[in-house]
Chain A
Amino acid sequence: MSSIKVNQISKRFGNQQAVDRVSFEVEPGEIFGLLGPNGAGKTTSIRIILDIFKPDSGEVEILGGKMTDEKKNQIGYLPEERGLYQDITLEVCLNYLARLKGLKPAEAAARVEQMMKRFDLYDHRKKKVKELSKGMQQKAQLIITLVHDPQLVIIDEPFSALDPVNTQMVKDLLREERDKGKTIVMCTHQMHQVEELCDRLVLINHGKVMLYGKLSDIRRQYSGQEVIVHPLNELPAQIPGVSRIDRDNSGYILHLADQTTPQAILKNLVEQGIPLERFEVALPTLDEIFIQVVTSRGEVS
């Protein structure tokens, strides 16, 4: 059973097609990246998944069926529009929101206290929320997302406003949650975070799915035209199937001609008896793939 199954959802606001026949599935126990440039339709998709908006067409299954009030207690959501009640103390605010997630009063108090200690907010618990820094509010928001031990966590830009120390802490936390079997959907356009954390991803642009699958598969799919080679000696000036050779630190980047595979180059070099220290297919970074996809507008069927 998938944690989330999105099937051909579309949503239109006035003249704007915000989401256009988007489909993807999120498997239990994975960190799934939902990527796309600003205004691509990520937030609308999430709101449809969470039953905040109804789709014009298509359907969504979450935790094995339609959204219900009971399921809401098993979902943690950190929205892009960060919001906390500003005029009450942090402790009251966290307890209230934790109780709305179905925790009993004593349970909520205990978990909130434990989380505040972990997030270094315990000393600030009697302060009004509006007196806290942006980073602290962000951490408070993360507490609300995770306090009720949800099965499914959906987080929109989890690292904005966090310093490197807290960023690392949140990353560790997300990995920890995944290792406990929780499903995490991370919505972001910080590609290096996705590369570091996500197992699979979907990339949406102009409301359409552009890329979908395993991170490693996608990178491989966009690779193959460059090879990094570190020979012990010099490389020959001409290698069949290589259109250009660039120096790169202690090695070379070989730009392959069309129809040439890295395997053919490796075979050729071995046959020529050139001793190699390192031979690597240069995988593009997600950043590069992102820019390439978003600027070329190719759609995945």
Chain B
Amino acid sequence: MNKFWIVFSHEYLRHVKRKRFILGLISIPLFMAVIMGVSILAAALSEDNRPVGFIDQSGLFKDAQPQPAKRSGLFVTQVKIVPFANETEARNALDDGEIQAFYIIQPDYYATGNVKMIAQDSVDSNIHRDFSEYLLAHLLKNENPTIRTRILEGPELVLRTFDSDQQFNSRNPFGFLIAIFSGVIFMLAVNTSGGYLLQAVVEEKENRTMEVILTSLSTDQFMAGKIFGNLSVGLTQLLFWLLMAGVAALFALRAFPDLRDVGIGFSFFSLMALTFLPAFVMIAALMTMVGSTATESREAQQIAGLFSLPIAIPFWFIAAIMENPNGPLAIGFSFFPFTAPMTLPLRSMLTNLPAWQVGLSIGILILAAAASIWLASRAFRLGMLRYGKKLTLAEILRPR
């Protein structure tokens, strides 16, 4: 087996097999699941699923058929609509708690649309909507089915721009949340990988193992094995969390059918991959550089903070970015390699990104990643045998 793979699997398994890693991996989805479970449970418990009644004083709805159920979710059940002969009967049913409310369709309904409602508590707006649909459907029952559907469902509004394929569905606030959520997961994974990598490089120096290593394999093989091994630890975490999020999303889609319209597609995920991956590599390489220049891990961690902190900057300015996703701040963040991975996917959810901005931003990221790898390999070669001595940036850059 190539020695790269030996280093790779050693670095990877060393972290992944640890209890601390496994706990960290599971704890976040578990935490999310508990939060979600509690809030769903709370919502489900507060929901009133008792039927509503109606009394038809207009005589228009005598033979009205029950509506076919259309929304189906784990927690959303459609409330039944039951007719009552007169107000007293309905009143009794309400007092007994058999129904949550009843409507009285006024005699002049045809002319005025007047309906009165009697209830003990406020009633969910969905029930009003369902009830008026029920009335409309009955009135339109002899109409051409296509026209009836159009009248009942109304227009489906899709926002589209001139110069791209991007679409915005008018009912979609969730795309933005998903962009933020992915960003947070990315940041956590970068921090994990970065931290491990930093530790793995400094440790080599602290333990003074480099000479034995360098007489066993080449520096490049060794460094590549270390970087990719530790990067894969973070990627494992990222993929596992995304997988969990996917499972949660499937579950959410079943539970809340309204979410199906979230306008997130392939283009969003490829944009995310294209910004996250080079950023990941860039941070990893910079961590390696810091690790090889510093003399002990505490010092290295302090410097490393300078690299991992800027990633979160867009979150501090999230209000400004939301308000003006095409403003100079948002555009500026898109072209700065540290802030781009958070900013670009966020903006793509808020506005239509011009192709040149996406191209430039990803291009800058890839260049920055390449430059960081170059710097890291120089620093690694020069710094690893300097026990207890710092390496300066000037020394790394000095031609030799």
Are B6 and A99 in contact, with the CB atoms below 8 A? yes
For chain A, residues 46 to 64, give those with C-beta under 8 angstroms from any C-beta of chain B: 47, 50, 52
Roughly how many angstroms separate A82 CA and B214 CA in the complex, as a whole number? 14
Roughly how many angstroms separate A102 CA and B203 CA in the complex, as a whole number? 23
Roughly how many angstroms separate A69 CA and B220 CA in the complex, as a whole number? 12
Q: What sequence of 0s and 1s flags, for each residue 210-222 of chain B, a beta carbon within 8 Å of any chain A beta carbon?
A: 1111111110000
Are B6 and A100 in contact, with the CB atoms below 8 A? yes
Residues from chain A with a CB closer than 8 A to the CB of B6 are: 96, 99-100
B289 at the interface (CB under 8 A from A): no
Neighbour of A72 across the interface among B14, B211, B215, CB < 8 A: B215
Neighbour of B215 across the interface among A75, A81, A84, A87, CB < 8 A: A75
Are B216 and A83 in contact, with the CB atoms below 8 A? no
Are A101 and B216 in contact, with the CB atoms below 8 A? yes
B208 at the interface (CB under 8 A from A): yes
Q: Which residue of A lies closest to B387 (CB)?
A: A81
A88 at the interface (CB under 8 A from B): yes
Are A79 and B217 in contact, with the CB atoms below 8 A? no
Interface size (B, Cβ < 8 Å)? 20
Q: What sequence of 0s and 1s flags, for each residue 72-111 of chain A, a beta carbon within 8 Å of any chain B beta carbon?
A: 1101010101111111100000001101111000000000
Roughly how many angstroms separate A52 CA and B210 CA in the complex, as a whole number? 10
Q: Which residue of A lies closest to B215 (CB)?
A: A77
Are A52 and B215 in contact, with the CB atoms below 8 A? yes
Residues from chain B with a CB closer than 8 A to the CB of A50 are: 211, 214-215
Main secondary structure of the interface of A (DSSP, over half): loop
Are A52 and B385 in contact, with the CB atoms below 8 A? yes
Neighbour of B217 across the interface among A47, A69, A81, A83, CB < 8 A: A69
Neighbour of B14 across the interface among A81, A82, A88, A102, CB < 8 A: A88
Are B212 and A97 in contact, with the CB atoms below 8 A? yes
Contacts A96-B6, A96-B10, A100-B3 given; indicate if A85 touches B216 (C-beta within 8 A). no
Neighbour of A77 across the interface among B3, B14, B211, B387, CB < 8 A: B211
Interface size (A, Cβ < 8 Å)? 24
Neighbour of B216 across the interface among A47, A81, A87, A100, CB < 8 A: A100
Q: Which residue of A lies closest to B219 (CB)?
A: A52
Are B208 and A82 in contact, with the CB atoms below 8 A? yes
Residues from chain B with a CB closer than 8 A to the CB of A79 are: 208, 211-212
For chain A, residues 148 to 203, give those with C-beta under 8 angstroms from any C-beta of chain B: none
Least Cβ–Cβ distance between A149 and chain B, in angstroms: 14
Are A86 and B207 in contact, with the CB atoms below 8 A? yes
Least Cβ–Cβ distance between A182 and chain B, in angstroms: 16
B304 at the interface (CB under 8 A from A): no
Q: What sequence of 0s and 1s flags, for each residue 1-45 of chain B, a beta carbon within 8 Å of any chain A beta carbon?
A: 001001100100010000000000000000000000000000000
B392 at the interface (CB under 8 A from A): no
Contacts A69-B218, A84-B207, A99-B6 given; indicate if A77 touches B385 (C-beta within 8 A). no
Residues from chain A with a CB closer than 8 A to the CB of B203 are: 85-87
For chain A, residues 222 to 269, give those with C-beta under 8 angstroms from any C-beta of chain B: none
Roughly how many angstroms separate A100 CA and B207 CA in the complex, as a whole number? 17
Least Cβ–Cβ distance between A49 and chain B, in angstroms: 10
- Given contact pairs A50-B211, A73-B216, A77-B215, enumerate 14 new A-B contacts (beta carbons under 8 Å): A52-B214, A52-B215, A52-B385, A69-B3, A72-B216, A82-B208, A83-B208, A84-B207, A84-B209, A85-B203, A85-B209, A86-B203, A97-B212, A100-B3
Some 7 contacts from A to B, beta carbons below 8 A apart, are: A50-B215, A52-B215, A79-B208, A87-B203, A96-B6, A101-B216, A144-B212
Residues of B within 8 A of A (CB): 3, 6-7, 10, 14, 203, 207-218, 385, 387
